[in-house]
Chain A
Amino acid sequence: MIDIEALEFHYPQGEFSLSIPHMVVAQGEKVAVIGPSGSGKTTLLNLIAGISKPHQGKVAVADQTVSSLSDAKRRDFRITRIGFVFQDFELLDYLNVLDNILHPYRITHALNLNSEVPQRAIALADELGIGDKLKRFSAELSQGEKQRAAICRALLPQPQLILADEPTGNLDPRNKGRILDLLFENVASSNATLLAVTHDHELLPRFDRVIDFLDFRNEAVA
């Protein structure tokens, strides 16, 4: 599902650079990415999603080299194939929860907002425990509820790949397990791939594989 070769990336300003010689994630695999803060975990997710472009190397998702697509195609690819749970949720404060969940459908023609989609959104929100918050604005939600809304938005288009940046970072222990169960259930039911950045080492046994960013560093230095 994900195939990265000789990836090199650095921001225009600053000393940060990311170097990944090789990385592969198979279809249906659930992979956790760990590493110290500032090691480039979120940058990696952005590169896989096509939000950022590598300076060198190849990033391919589902046999499609994302880094070589035009801006428009990369956007369409991301919105239809990839579900992204952002670390800071990225909810719009002037839309209610339901509209935030449906937002990707309204800003692109790549997704079709038919009458069935809002029904699915409501059902999914119910599963995630925010069914009664759909008319609320994001400012009225707790951090955990915002996170669940962000997960709901990412899962709704039934993507093949889910990139999750600290998906349980703001959840209490009881909800953490419940949300992760739901995330895994959705991934399993659609045979999707999950790549999740996390600092929570208690969760690692639940993943098929763990990628430690320190290994990349060591490999790159070697």
Chain B
Amino acid sequence: MTSSFYIAWHYVIFNRVRSVTLVACITLIAFLPFALQLLLAESQQLLQSRATSTPLLLGARGSALDLVMNSLYFDDEVPERISMLAADEIADTGLGYAIPLYVRFLARNYPIVATSIDYFDFRGLAIADGRMFTLLGESVIGADVAEDYGLAPGDSIVSSPETLFDLAGIYPLKMTITGVLERSHTPDDRAVFVDLKTAWVIEGLGHGHEDLGKTNDSSVILKRTEDKVIANAKLLQYTQITTDNIDSFHFHGDASVYPVTAVLAVPHDAKSATLLRGRYLDNTQYHIVRPTEVIEGLLESIFRIKTVIDSVIAIVGLATVLAIILVFALSVRLRQRELSTIFKLGCSRMTAVKLIAAEIAFIVLASSVISTGLLAIIGANAETLVRMLIFR
């Protein structure tokens, strides 16, 4: 049998284009279903673990999936905004506590998650380096953000403008990084955390500018009365909050109606949870959802799709296997002269079968090694891949 492998190896190497094509075909057929299975299992695990640890989520009536994906995985599909009043209402029920979330803006393509300090206790997030944000304009970043951009406490990160040419739109705000979170292997690793008020500054609901009472530039002033000074667009607005200008930052209007995208509702117990859900059953403005139910629905859809994909892969796989059998059958016909030679030299039919079997073994072995290697790479990086491909 050793000689059969020796001869077969030379045949495989000599006909390398044919061999590589066959190896590629078999590798793909072997690799794709398993890779898909690995990624789906990983995404299922990621989705479920995050959803399971989040009891209830309140948001504007609409897509429950958008609400969950935005609030739990910081997906860039922003649900309709609700006001801070919603969080206060939950707190007022006495059935649990509320954690407001405002996930809308980006900084260097990472989501800016505006929330309260309670969020970090709720998720069990700890600071690995530096300290928690305490002042307006300060931020804490996830481990991946810090690693990807080499950021550390003391550095700064700038929010991305939503529309570059909209003068009335969102302006970039340079935020000081005060801390880096410990890696949690959750979407929190890939987020920039700020206080809600900082997000509202990014949105333009709060701002800081030079003191109009002290400015010497008369061209900035549109109108001056006894109790009010109205400035034009020439007025210098601060794009970074520092200890020198922080006092100039102020908000207009009632902060209780400022926007958030969702409220994490953390009931005291199961009974409180049921009561809390009951309160919002008929609410026309808000709905309260259990993320696990939403994610289970999503997973059911994914697995229905997977069943279809599996069937397609099975059909394609069968077609490929048949094509490979045809290739080998045709190659045996094409090799009639060579087979005739080895028979003339004294080779038995069994030895000829062994030679062809050894060739097939090399092709299958090479495919198996490559498939296994690729699957090992996919397995080792499944979480990263799922985050890249699914939770972008």
Contact = CB atoms under 8 A, between A and B. Distances in A.
Chain B interface main SS type: helix
Interface string B4-33: 001100110111000000000000000000
B346 A108 contact: yes
B11 to A, nearest CB: 5
B3 A107 contact: yes
Contact of A75 (B10, B15, B348, B355): B348
Interface string A105-121: 11110100100000000
B341 interface: yes
Contacts of B15: 94
Interface in A78-131: 78-79, 84, 86, 90-95, 99, 103-108, 110, 113
Given A90-B341, A92-B338, A76 B346 contact: yes
A99 B13 CA distance: 14
Nearest to B342: A107
B345 interface: yes
B7 A106 contact: yes
Nearest to B351: A107
Nearest to B350: A72
A51 interface: yes
B42 to A, nearest CB: 44
A106 B14 CA distance: 18
Given A94-B15, A106-B3, A99 B10 contact: yes
Interface residues of A, number: 26
Contacts of A76: 346
Contacts of A104: 345-346
Contacts of A91: 341
Given A94-B10, A99-B10, A79 B341 contact: no
Interface in A31-87: 49, 51, 71-72, 75-76, 78-79, 84, 86
B330 interface: no
Contacts of A107: 3, 7, 342, 345-347, 351, 355
A106 B344 contact: no
Contacts of A92: 338, 341-342
B7 A51 contact: no
A75 B346 contact: yes
Nearest to A113: B3
Nearest to B352: A107
Residue of B11, B348, B355 with most partner-chain A CB within 10 A: B348
Given A106-B3, A106-B7, A107-B351, A86 B346 contact: no
Given A49-B344, A90-B345, 19 more contacts: A51-B343, A51-B344, A72-B348, A79-B346, A84-B344, A90-B341, A93-B14, A94-B10, A94-B13, A95-B7, A95-B10, A107-B345, A107-B346, A107-B347, A107-B355, A108-B347, A108-B348, A110-B346, A137-B14
Q: Which 5 A-B pairs have the closest CB atoms?
A: A79-B346, A94-B14, A106-B3, A107-B347, A90-B341
